[in-house]
Structure 1
Amino acid sequence: MANTQNTWDQECDVLVVGSGAGALTGAYGAAVRGLDTLVIEKTGYFGGTTAYAGAGLWLPGNHVQARDGVEDSADLARAYFRAVVGDATDQRVQDAYLDRAAETVAFLEDSPHVRFEYRPFPDYFAAPGRFDAGRAVFPVELPADAGPQHLLDAVRPPAWAERLGLPVPDGPLTDGRALIGRLLLALESTGHGRTLLDTALTGLITEDGAVVGVETEHDGRTLRIRARGGVLLAAGGFEANAELRRDWQELPGADWTMGAPGANTGDAITAAVSAGAALDLLDQAWWCPSLRFPDGSAAFTLGLHGGIFVDGSGHRFANESLPYDRMGRQMLGAKAGTAHDNPVWWIFDGRFGDELPGITVVPADRTAFTDAGLWRTADTLDGLAERIGVEAGALRDTVRTFNGYAADGTDADFQRGEDPYDRFFAQGTGPNPCLVPIDEGPYHAVQIVLGDLGTKGGVRTDAQARVLRADGGAIPGLYAAGNTAASVSGRCYPGPGVPIGSAMVFGHIAADHIAAARHTQH
């Protein structure tokens, strides 16, 4: 919206929309350089979907890896990234991510509040430059009393606690919550960072084509905030906006995302479009198989160590141990689990008792799932087939074939267990630990749907994280990072922590660019 008013309710040098890892990295980067920085967050919690994450960070060639004996470099990662992503995205943007990843880690660890450690987690594709043991770094857990309680108490709860309405556990902040807590403490320590919760972006304010501020809604009134140096949009994607998902992705709605409640409705993206931004990759998301819940939601599911997935015909259609985004794309391709009337069934046997043979970020209560028809059990495979509405002979043949593969140790159909990622979660004891036979009644079927960790289409950006117009020119004063921007990885998910890691790098780059311009002006 054009600046037809000359009055401002607040002013700052840098305004950051969102409070995930990309947003807070950018905010810290600006504030530590002495710029008056304001973070606005739509919800009552800091962290967005980052707070739900395991918080692996794909930031290759950094000193934390070296500290733990992992020899990596931007060039090794570039060989892998190019092999996987190719020219699907601007290679100058790819290079900015890869070449400045290690710098971002070093810059953040200059703060006494930010600490990382290396943990194994394999890259997701067999390609040149791949690390079979992974190259991701993770935040070190954060003691709950490590800083001001008004900040740490406002970090979004773990996904399971928020989804199930349970209290936040005592003890240290871990994983994504630790990352958000550490970045908040780093920002607060600069003396130049401010935050506003429950403050929704309603529009960008422009003058002569440049973004000079934002309009927000806070406490039931409109706030116009001037940003003298620039605005960084890092407010997630549009995963929670059912209308945009139907328009841009042809999906039935937004119930199955892991996006944080009340957030990620595409406000920053649509505001940028009104300011002239070009868009890309709108049909894309960070896909994942998800456990369907009785309330209609779904929760990210990974790390299968038992069972198979079958479609409505009773047949397998992919390697169930694939990395989650790749498995999600197999579901998309098979049109399996993409709507209420085409579920995928996770078939496993009684050796697992009442437990699911895999990892779900929100635990399932078997009684509630059984009552809702989402967990079905029978003493025989034929009985299970009848209960889930598939042809009994087809399911029987599928399981018989799979059990033969388990005995031989080779999945002739989908090569399950041949990749380091497959074996990372395996717990079986046979010749192929990823292939656990299904032969001990009772037999179970649990419903799986296509979920996501967020959308990955948004505004087009350049190597300086500047938002671009359709003609390729940058919109002055406007930057984007994270899922608000079209992903540097295009249509694939190269390794653990690419979403958060790339968000952090481009948040860092945006802060650097804004700070350089501000200091030049002065």
Structure 2
Amino acid sequence: MRGRRREQEWDATHEVVVVGSGAGAMTGALEAASRGLDTVVLERTALLGGTSAYSGAACWLPGTQVQERAGLGDSTEAARAYLRALTGDAEAERREAFLRHAPALVARLERDPALVFEWRAFPDYVAAPGRMDAGRSFVPLDLAPDELGDLLPLVRPAVDRDRAGLGHPDAPLSAGRALIGRLLLAATRTGRAHIRAEHRVTGLVTEDGRVTGVEARTPHGTVRVRARRGVLLAAGGFERDEEGRAAHGVPGGAAWSMAPGGTNTGEVLRAAVAAGAATALMDEAWWCPGTELPDGTAAFTLGLRGGIMVDATGRRFANESLPYDRMGRALAAARQDGPRVHLVFDSREGGALPAVTVPSTAPEAHLAAGTWVRADSLPELAGLIGVPAGALTGTVSRFNGFAATGRDEDHHRGEDPYDLFFADPHDAPGPNPCLVPLDRPPYYAARLVLADLGTKGGLRTDADARVLDAGGRPLPGLYAAGNTSASFTGRVYPGPGVPLGTAMVFASLAVRHMAEEPERTA
């Protein structure tokens, strides 16, 4: 935190300063620029989009014209019932602000020709009143590279290409790249949104108790950027900060997070705390199982079509088809009984993992590195992964019996719409497509780790996305959205696209509040 500075000591002045460049940050920048506010986006790396660019771009924004076009029968009332059932009323004010604002935000976004969305089936994650079994989230349409033109190199590529140091393929941008590309295109077309890459924000500047700007390191030195109306922090969490994770009791590891390398180390959060901000949920994250990769990182793993997960005792510990956050929590609990958790599968898919992994790695590379093992028999496989042979063979035999009857008596796999979403009936000879027997040797075991899509705790905020101090009072001039803020959904992950949808809404609400605030000229 810095004290009062003279006007001439600012290196640049804007009405709105946005820190970060994910879906929330870019929505905030577009909303501010569309209101006629001179806006700058400060991104710490050379590429825009952060974890949003790696995502599937599902946006959980209920009761909008997108769901109406698809004829879903979704409504704000149904979403309210669903959220109340899952989270109670502890965050009722922010929940209601989110629900009220989502339809209007989507209508405004779609008035811009650069922004086009379509509903795509992906079930809500929990059986509760108001749930949409087919899902209510939507995604952007793919974006042709030539529409972005010179802006294309600014958008972070997909995770597999980005980790390999590659740019975009000669193909339309899809998923998270399409979302960031479309928001970037819309924002820059206003003529009032300025993009500044390689601006690593390290501190906030305050004057008379108000946040009036930021300090950032650039390749050319430190700069101070003034914000006449407000600073919006939407720069992700602290998932890549191993020390921060340990300090707050966040399980898993920084190397296993899906955030891009070199990002989300918590500097922005620490700067806000130094300015007096309060935090919440700092031990939480958006969890997922991760398949450990040969280089020590992890691949986001979801949508199992077969196989079983076993703990250090060689036994199943959960419904393997659970939504990834819930499966991640089960994985965390299982690892308390021992470090070894494996996905065991057979050769039904030719030795490939019966799941979606992002990024994917060839089985041969896994086998060479030892992150996977292969054996001709289950007892041999048990020895390779260090679990009791009798327990593993008994577990597989019991599961194969469930596959024959179609009923998982232990964990009820295949009884929920989400379970069935990824199942392929052609793989299952029995009546339940989620229960595929393991009976085709050789057998495989893939090492699993507790991964995450980002930390979920952060700065406490109100219904206008204003950052609060320990007494619940807003810090003037400071706002937060996305994983820089503590999620109003608490310890629950309601459905696909909740992180993006809530980030977009609260970034928009922050800008609305800034626009209503008088501009500071002194």
Normalising by structure 1, we get a TM-score of 0.97
What amino acid is aligned across from residue 77 of structure 1 in structure 2?
A
Cα deviation digits, residues 408-428 of structure 1 (max 9, x gap): 000000000000000000013
Counterpart CA distance in 2 for 1:321 and 1:13 is: 47
Cα deviation digits, residues 85-107 of structure 1 (max 9, x gap): 113x4210011111111111111
Post-superposition shift, 1:75?
1.1
Cα deviation digits, residues 35-83 of structure 1 (max 9, x gap): 1000000001000000000011100000011111112111110000110
Which range is displaced more, 266-275 or 416-425? 266-275
What amino acid is aligned across from residue 102 of structure 1 in structure 2?
P
Say yes or no: does 1:67 pair with 2:74: no
Secondary structure of the structure 1 residue equivalent to 2:492: coil
Post-superposition shift, 1:367?
1.9
Give ranges in structure 1 of 5+ residues lacking alignment. none
Cα deviation digits, residues 243-274 of structure 1 (max 9, x gap): 10111125364110001111111111111101
Which residue in 2 is equivalent to 1:176? Answer: 176
Which residue in 2 is equivalent to 1:76? Answer: 78
Q: 1:336–1:343: 8 Å Cα contact kept in structure 2?
A: no
Q: 2:252–2:451: 8 Å Cα contact kept in structure 1?
A: no
Say yes or no: does 1:421 pair with 2:418: yes
Which residue in 2 is equivalent to 1:368? Answer: 365
What amino acid is aligned across from residue 65 of structure 2 in structure 1?
H
5 Å-filtered alignment, 1:53-202, equals 53-87=55-89, 89-149=90-150, 151-202=151-202
Post-superposition shift, 1:336?
5.4
Which residue in 2 is equivalent to 1:261? Answer: 261
Q: 1:246–1:252: 8 Å Cα contact kept in structure 2?
A: no
Post-superposition shift, 1:24?
0.6
Cα deviation digits, residues 432-469 of structure 1 (max 9, x gap): 00000001110110111100000010000000000000
Post-superposition shift, 1:2?
2.7
5 Å-filtered alignment, 1:420-499, equals 420-427=417-424, 428-429=427-428, 430-499=430-499
Post-superposition shift, 1:334?
2.3
Alignment counterpart, residue 26 of structure 1, candidates 28, 31, 46: 28
What amino acid is aligned across from residue 188 of structure 1 in structure 2?
T
Counterpart CA distance in 1 for 2:164 and 2:239 is: 20
Say yes or no: does 1:387 pair with 2:384: yes
Q: 1:118–1:135: 8 Å Cα contact kept in structure 2?
A: yes
Say yes or no: does 1:396 pair with 2:393: yes
Post-superposition shift, 1:297?
0.5
Alignment counterpart, residue 343 of structure 1, candidates 330, 340, 345: 340
Counterpart CA distance in 2 for 1:141 and 1:343 is: 40
Secondary structure of the structure 2 residue equivalent to 1:153: helix
Cα deviation digits, residues 304-360 of structure 1 (max 9, x gap): 0010000111000000000000000111222359xxx71211001111113110000
Q: 1:27–1:187: 8 Å Cα contact kept in structure 2?
A: yes
Alignment counterpart, residue 48 of structure 1, candidates 36, 47, 50: 50
Task: Give aligned pairs, total.
Answer: 517
Counterpart CA distance in 2 for 1:185 and 1:278 is: 34
Counterpart CA distance in 1 for 2:331 and 2:253 is: 17
Give ranges in structure 2 of 5+ residues lacking alignment. none
* CA RMSD after TM alignment: 1.5
Counterpart CA distance in 2 for 1:275 and 1:481 is: 17
5 Å-filtered alignment, 1:297-312, equals 297-312=297-312
What amino acid is aligned across from residue 135 of structure 2 in structure 1?
G
Counterpart CA distance in 1 for 2:353 and 2:334 is: 24
Post-superposition shift, 1:5?
3.0
Counterpart CA distance in 1 for 2:103 and 2:308 is: 39
Counterpart CA distance in 1 for 2:5 and 2:512 is: 30
Secondary structure of the structure 1 residue equivalent to 2:348: helix
What amino acid is aligned across from residue 370 of structure 1 in structure 2?
L
Alignment counterpart, residue 12 of structure 1, candidates 11, 14, 26: 14
Post-superposition shift, 1:18?
0.1
Q: 2:228–2:519: 8 Å Cα contact kept in structure 1?
A: no
Which residue in 1 is equivalent to 2:353? Answer: 356
5 Å-filtered alignment, 1:234-313, equals 234-251=234-251, 253-313=253-313
What amino acid is aligned across from residue 327 of structure 2 in structure 1?
M
Q: 1:242–1:254: 8 Å Cα contact kept in structure 2?
A: yes
What amino acid is aligned across from residue 351 of structure 1 in structure 2?
R
Post-superposition shift, 1:165?
3.7
Cα deviation digits, residues 259-309 of structure 1 (max 9, x gap): 111111111111110110000000000000011011110010000001000
Q: 1:243–1:253: 8 Å Cα contact kept in structure 2?
A: no
Counterpart CA distance in 1 for 2:314 and 2:164 is: 32
- Cα 1:336–1:252 change in 2 (3 A) is same
Say yes or no: does 1:216 pair with 2:216: yes
Normalising by structure 2, we get a TM-score of 0.97
Post-superposition shift, 1:110?
1.3
What amino acid is aligned across from residue 440 of structure 1 in structure 2?
R
Counterpart CA distance in 1 for 2:82 and 2:392 is: 39
Counterpart CA distance in 1 for 2:262 and 2:220 is: 16
Say yes or no: does 1:407 pair with 2:408: no
Q: 1:215–1:223: 8 Å Cα contact kept in structure 2?
A: yes
Which range is displaced more, 202-211 or 3-12? 3-12
Q: 2:376–2:441: 8 Å Cα contact kept in structure 1?
A: yes
- Cα 1:519–1:109 change in 2 (3 A) is farther
Post-superposition shift, 1:164?
3.3
- Cα 1:59–1:252 change in 2 (3 A) is closer
Counterpart CA distance in 1 for 2:370 and 2:509 is: 49
Counterpart CA distance in 1 for 2:14 and 2:21 is: 17
What amino acid is aligned across from residue 375 of structure 1 in structure 2?
W
What amino acid is aligned across from residue 110 of structure 1 in structure 2?
R
What amino acid is aligned across from residue 386 of structure 2 in structure 1?
G
